[in-house]
Amino acid sequence: MTDMSWDDRSRLPKDVYWCPRCDIPLLQEECGGCGSGGARVASDVRPVFPQEKRLLEIFLDYPKDSLRNESVWDTKSSNVIIGGESVRLNKGKLMSIDPAEIREALPKDRDEIAEASHTEIMKRFVSASKARFKAIDYEALSIMNFAKDKTGQAIPVVSFSGGKDSTVVSDLVRRGYANQRIVHIFGDTTLEFPQTLEYVDRFKRNNPSIPFLEARSRHSFIDLCKRIGPPSRVMRWCCTVFKTGPIGQRLDGLRALKKPILTYYGVRRSESNQRSDYDAITRSPKISQQIVVSPIINWSDADVWLYIMTRGLDFNDAYRLGFSRIGCWCCPSNSLWSFFLARIHLPRRAEPWRDYLLEFAKSIGKPDPVEYIDSGNWKARHGGQGLPTAYKGVVSASVCGDDPYAKTYTLTRPISEALYEYFKPFGRLDFGQGRSILGEVFIVDKSTNNPVLVLQGQQGTSSLRVKAVDMSNPSLLLQRVDCQIRKYQACVLCGGCPSVCPRGAITNTINAYRIDEGKCTNCLRCISHFDTGCLASKVLQARRGAAV
Ligand code: SF4
Ligand code: SF4
Ligand code: SF4
Ligand SMILES: [Zn+2]
């Protein structure tokens, strides 16, 4: 969408230096505080806060409080920088320590932690990096101004996750628009750190003029895991159900204003290889009719912290504990180290989750469940092998010889009342027109009353004939019927479909998929939103390529 200089990947920051006189990292070679030159120490750093220092003392077997006055910074590798020296943490070995033992040795209360020397170090960091702050701030505001100019009257919305990046973006956007009343949207995945929820509450209290929208799925994450297995790196089904779905639905309310939506995100290229390809301004791949702007796309972690410290912003306390990324605390994309920290700091959440994973590993026949879970191999899982709900991907359909626009399906789940729910997106169900002896049901267009489809099949049997009557594009119509049949056979009520319906017409109760005909506008969005029609059928496929 743009060829502006911020999309030049070669400008990404990759060197952090150290000023021995000021005892701080430098984001340029020369210290802006004392003018000294510095040696390169890392590609990126984040501050280690006083609470995490105590953790490091335990990990490194240093005496208590020996790091209290030290300038300590974490790098993206296994090294920490203490007073300019790189010290290696043997994370693999450390993770074998009992998390309860470590927890016991940590301060129970933040009041027990001395912050004064940390505050001094941060002041020196801010003062030495004024030029860098000016440069990153200028670029972020330029990206925003460009996006604003290109999209005219678009409604700005800040996607607020409670993490450090969205904290920065929120501040930037309110400054850039010189307006505090910018809509913020927070999607509570139900898997948030408790510190995130506390921070969000604080943020709302401290910024009462911000219109703050919240989106939360009504589904239970653990119940769904029991039905379709835990998410993995390749099957992040929960993002749809708990994140993009509810947020998209919430944004649908704003779309009623008939203006484009400009969503500001805190996505950064340095976060991952995949993100290194992102553009600063783009259309959302996940939420339709939405332009996404990432004003801090080129920033490093150190830049984000520099901004927070320079602007004196409040932030999520989970960072003080040593978590470098905040999202869902149990996300399969998190590192093993992050999960180890969760076991130390969030035992009431992390231990039951680990127990569930161990049970899951046993239930799918893993010979060494502890190794499978603790090594993180479960995160590479794909397919529904071993699960009772595994979907074999079997729908056999034959085109009826005499009619190219009719198909006969041999179903793996016998016809029942539940089948008809999946046909409501095509129109109104009309049981009166059909011949009951053949189990015929007409689906009619709600405005013209003309038939769109005719279903034929007795309840309790497995043979269903579907005839396309609407001839505007019968092949496409039958492809859509395939999707709905797939849903009928594989549906485990995962909440995926309710999360994509813009009218809130679909509900998944504990044992039923329902569409409210009164609310459904037959937009067909729910039909093909997931490639094959059903998110769970994809996740639960017993073998790769076993799709219908
Ligand atoms: S756990 Fe990970 S995959 Fe699941 S919703 Fe959270 S971020 Fe998405
Ligand atoms: S049909 Fe929809 S609600 Fe049911 S399992 Fe598939 S995606 Fe989930
Ligand atoms: S997405 Fe909702 S409104 Fe659209 S067809 Fe499906 S149920 Fe109806
Ligand atoms: Zn200096």
Nearest CA to ligand 1 atom 1: 331
What is the whole-number distance in angstroms between the Cα of residue 489 and the centre of ligand 2? 10
Closest atom, ligand 1, to C-alpha of 330: 1
What average pLDDT does this structure show over 80-107? Answer: 93
Whether the CA torsion 79, 82, 86, 87 is positive or negative: it is negative
What's the CA gap between 523 and 89, in Å, rounded? 55
Indicate the pTM of the whole model.
Answer: 0.85
Is the Cβ–Cβ distance between 507 and 519 less than 8 Å? no
Q: What is the mean pLDDT of the chain?
A: 89
pLDDT at 410: 92
What average pLDDT does this structure show over 88-98? Answer: 92
What average pLDDT does this structure show over 499-521? Answer: 89
Report which bound ligand comes closest to the CA of 327.
1
264 DSSP β-pair partners: 158, 293
Q: What is the pLDDT of residues 144-168, one digit of tens each?
A: 999 888 887 889 999 999 999 999 9
What's the CA gap between 442 and 423, in Å, rounded? 10
Is the Cβ–Cβ distance between 265 and 292 less than 8 Å? yes
Confirm or reject: Cβ of 526 under 6 Å from ligand 2.
no
Report which bound ligand comes closest to the CA of 498.
2
Mutate-to-test residue for ligand 1 from 161, 191, 220, highest number of ligand atoms within 8 A of CB:
191
Confirm or reject: Cβ of 163 under 6 Å from ligand 1.
no
> From the CB of residue 73, how many other CB atoms can be counted at a distance below 10 Å?
27
What's the CA gap between 374 and 97, in Å, rounded? 13
Nearest CA to ligand 2 atom 6: 534
130-321: what CATH class? alpha beta
- Report whether pLDDT(13) > 80: no
Confirm or reject: Cβ of 536 under 6 Å from ligand 2.
yes
Q: What is the pLDDT of residues 102-123, one digit of tens each?
A: 999 887 776 667 788 999 999 9
What is the residue whose two structure tokens read 């995490």? 52
Confirm or reject: Cβ of 242 under 6 Å from ligand 1.
yes
What average pLDDT does this structure show over 37-63? Answer: 94
Is the Cβ–Cβ distance between 99 and 343 less than 8 Å? yes
Closest atom, ligand 2, to C-alpha of 498: 3
pLDDT at 162: 97
- Nearest Cα to Cα of residue 241 among 545, 546, 539: 539
What is the whole-number distance in angstroms between the Cα of residue 238 and the centre of ligand 2? 12
Task: Give the start-to-end residue ranges of the domains of the chain.
Answer: 11-113, 130-321, 339-380, 396-539
What is the whole-number distance in angstroms between the Cα of residue 492 and the centre of ligand 2? 6
Nearest CA to ligand 3 atom 3: 520
Q: What is the pLDDT of residues 444-460, one digit of tens each?
A: 999 999 999 999 999 99
pLDDT at 459: 95
